[in-house]
Structure formats: structure tokens, C-alpha cells
């Protein structure tokens, strides 16, 4: 009985300790780029621990998947409205979902945008032992028989990963409606499904691909960037190099509830201003497979509003708007 009581006390103490610190919510399952975003924020803030007025250092990461981000959005906006030290990871895919109304009747001004920590890019990957050696090989297989190739994406029709592959296929003269997509919850799950041969292709993000390509079990066929990317994917050609004119940049960062005290919001904006200015952060960002891009506070809110408008126009062109 004493042991049981001690265990309960330890668990309660752990919960209380977490509540007193900073939480970063990953709105998907572990292993994807959203997870990577929270871990990068954690490392960046930890790098400020020895500076004057350091932010709370005991940041913990929790996972709240569901509805390709909708569950986390509504949890913070509806039930956890005033939490001062809770951040949520977001990406360009989150903004695309907002534009399409996938989070319900909400808009970009319903939360507070804290910081953008870096940029990412779309990519198309297969297993290392796949018969598809190039993007041209994959497109040829899709033209011959699109029903034979299962494509893993995070989210459903209209999600960011779906849209990337839809644009690639349309550029090659293939009707996206003819493709077979498998909806999964996050990039980590998509790569797991591919390595289990449940799907043959993943439409995802370069940051995620960097993690798997380094281990030798993944072949990245194309990155959706203007130029080749440095690092692990340096030898991967762009889609443009292979005759497919599709570029898909992705912003990555964190937001918080609009009902948190204004002083706390400004505190976190200031903290991430210092993170982005820290010379060591550039190395942390590169190690996470991300590329330079940083905005905070009001400037980020302006960027997000424009991005949501632009995503809405792009989605409308593909008949995805509700």
C-alpha cells in the first residue's frame, strides 16, 4: 500500500511539475515534422537557460492528434483558453486547413501566432528498394496504372500532402482524382506505412525525409524547392529539374491561445526573438532539416493572414473549397 501511495504521489508531483512549466502540443502522432517543430522550439528555448530572464526551462511535449490539427486547435481555443505557457506547433498545412474550413468556422485571427522557426519544403519519397528510381519512373507508373500505386499522405483530400501530389500529377497530365491516396495521421505514420509496404509512395516534407534518408531505407525522388537543398538531401533533384514545375515551401512554428494573458504572449514573442537571434539556433535548425525563415508576433500574424488567403485561392483552383 505504501508503495502504491508513493507511486500516486510521484505521478501527481510529475503532473504538477509539468503544469508549472511550458508545454508544446504536437497536433499529430509522434515522429513527423510537427513533432520536430516542438523539439526544435524546446532546444531553442533551452539554449537561453543561462541568459538574463530565461523562459521556463522545463518544456514538455505532448501529442494531441486528430482531425489533421483540428482537435488541438479546438482544445486550446475552447477548453484551454487561458493557459499562459502552452504552445501548439503549426505548419503551412495548418494554414491550408484553415483556408479550406477544415477547422470549422474559424479564421487565422482566432489564435495568437507566436513564432515561425524555419522553412521546410515538400518532397516525394519511396522505399530504398522501390522500382521507382526517379520522379519520371513514378509518373510513368501512375500514367500506366494509377490504381496500382498507393500514396500515403498526412490528412485527407485537400490536405497539404494531398495537394502536393495532386499538383505534381496534374503537371504531368494525370487527373488527381485517378490516384489512390491513403489518409494517415502525420508524417511519421506515413513513413511507417511505407516501410511496411502498406503504401508505396509518401508525399510529405523534406525535414521528415531527411531523418529517414540518413538511415538508408528511403529514396527521395524529388524535393519541391526552387533549388537543391543542402545537407542529407543535397543530391536529390528538384521536381523542376525533372520537368515538373511544382514548388511547395512550408512554414513551421508555434501559436498559443488568444485568451492567454497579453503579458505572457509578449513574453513568448520576446523569448523567440532571442532564440532566432542566438547564433547556435542556426545549427539547431539545420540539424532538424529546416531552412532559414523567422518571424514573430505581429509580423508573423500578417504573414499568416496572407498565406491563408493565398492557400484559399490555390485550393479553389482545384475545386476544394467548401
245 and 129 share one domain: yes
236 and 125 share one domain: yes
Per-residue pLDDT at 296: 98
Assign residue 142 the CATH number of its domain: 3.40.190.10
79 and 186 share one domain: no
62 and 81 share one domain: yes
Instruction: Say if 56 falls within a structural domain.
Output: yes
Of 196, 228, 249, the residue that ends a domain is: 249
127 and 245 share one domain: yes
54 and 198 share one domain: no
Q: What is the 3-state secondary structure (H, E, C) of the chain?
A: CHHHHHHHHHHHHHHHHHHHCCEEEECCCCCCHHHHHHHHHHHHHHCCCCCCCCCCCCCEEEECCCHHHHHHHHHHHHHCCCCCCEEEEEEHHHHHHHHCCCCCCCCHHHCEEEEEEEEEEEEEEEECCCCCCCHHHHHHHHHHCHHHCEEEEECCCCCHHHHHHHHHHHHCCCCHHHCEEEEECCHHHHHHHHHCCCCCEEEEEHHHHHHHHCCCCEEEEEEECCCCCCHHHCCCCECHHHCCCCCCEEEEEEEECCCCCHHHHHHHHHHHHHHHHCHHHHHHHHHCCCECCCEEHHHHHHHHHHHHHHHHHHHHHCCCCC
Total count of domains within the chain:
2
Per-residue pLDDT at 9: 34
- Domain with 163, as residue range(s), is 121-249
206 and 255 share one domain: no
Per-residue pLDDT at 3: 38
Per-residue pLDDT at 16: 36
Instruction: Say if 2 falls within a structural domain.
Output: no
Per-residue pLDDT at 216: 86
Per-residue pLDDT at 75: 87
Of 249, 271, 291, the residue that ends a domain is: 249
51 and 168 share one domain: no
| Positions in the chain whose pLDDT score sits under 50 | 1-20
157 and 202 share one domain: yes
Per-residue pLDDT at 57: 60
230 and 242 share one domain: yes
Instruction: Say if 135 falls within a structural domain.
Output: yes
Instruction: Say if 11 falls within a structural domain.
Output: no
Instruction: Say if 1 falls within a structural domain.
Output: no
Of 206, 228, 249, the residue that ends a domain is: 249
Instruction: Say if 295 falls within a structural domain.
Output: yes
Amino acid at each position: 500500500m505504501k508503495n502504491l501511495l508513493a507511486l500516486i504521489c510521484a505521478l501527481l508531483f510529475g503532473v504538477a511539475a509539468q503544469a508549472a512549466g511550458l508545454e508544446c502540443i504536437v497536433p499529430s502522432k509522434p515522429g513527423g515534422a510537427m513533432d520536430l517543430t516542438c523539439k526544435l522550439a524546446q532546444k531553442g528555448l533551452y539554449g537561453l537557460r543561462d541568459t538574463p530572464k530565461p523562459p521556463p526551462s522545463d518544456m514538455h511535449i505532448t501529442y494531441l492528434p486528430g482531425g489533421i490539427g483540428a482537435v488541438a486547435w479546438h482544445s486550446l481555443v475552447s477548453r484551454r483558453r487561458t493557459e499562459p505557457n502552452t504552445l501548439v506547433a503549426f505548419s503551412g498545412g495548418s494554414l491550408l486547413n484553415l483556408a479550406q474550413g477544415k477547422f470549422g468556422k474559424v479564421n487565422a485571427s482566432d489564435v495568437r501566432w507566436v513564432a515561425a522557426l524555419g522553412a521546410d519544403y515538400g518532397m516525394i519519397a519511396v522505399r530504398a528498394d522501390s522500382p521507382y528510381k526517379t520522379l519520371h519512373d513514378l509518373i510513368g507508373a501512375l500514367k500506366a496504372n494509377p490504381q496500382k500505386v498507393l500514396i500515403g499522405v498526412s490528412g485527407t483530400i485537400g490536405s497539404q500532402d494531398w495537394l502536393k501530389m495532386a499538383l505534381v500529377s496534374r503537371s504531368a497530365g494525370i487527373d488527381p482524382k485517378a490516384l489512390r491516396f491513403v489518409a494517415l495521421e502525420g508524417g511519421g505514420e506515413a513513413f511507417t506505412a511505407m516501410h511496411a509496404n502498406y503504401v508505396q509512395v509518401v508525399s510529405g516534407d523534406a525535414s521528415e525525409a531527411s531523418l529517414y534518408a540518413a538511415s538508408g531505407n528511403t529514396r527521395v525522388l524529388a524535393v519541391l524547392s526552387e533549388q537543391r537543398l543542402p545537407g542529407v538531401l543535397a543530391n536529390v533533384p528538384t521536381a523542376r529539374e525533372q520537368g515538373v514545375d511544382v514548388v511547395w515551401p512550408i512554414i513551421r512554428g508555434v501559436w498559443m491561445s488568444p485568451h492567454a494573458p497579453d503579458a505572457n504572449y509578449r513574453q513568448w514573442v520576446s523569448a523567440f526573438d532571442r532564440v532566432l537571434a542566438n547564433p547556435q539556433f542556426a545549427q539547431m535548425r539545420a540539424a532538424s532539416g529546416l531552412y532559414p525563415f523567422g518571424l514573430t508576433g505581429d509580423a508573423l500574424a500578417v504573414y499568416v493572414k496572407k498565406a491563408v488567403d493565398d492557400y484559399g485561392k490555390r485550393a479553389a483552383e482545384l475545386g476544394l473549397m467548401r
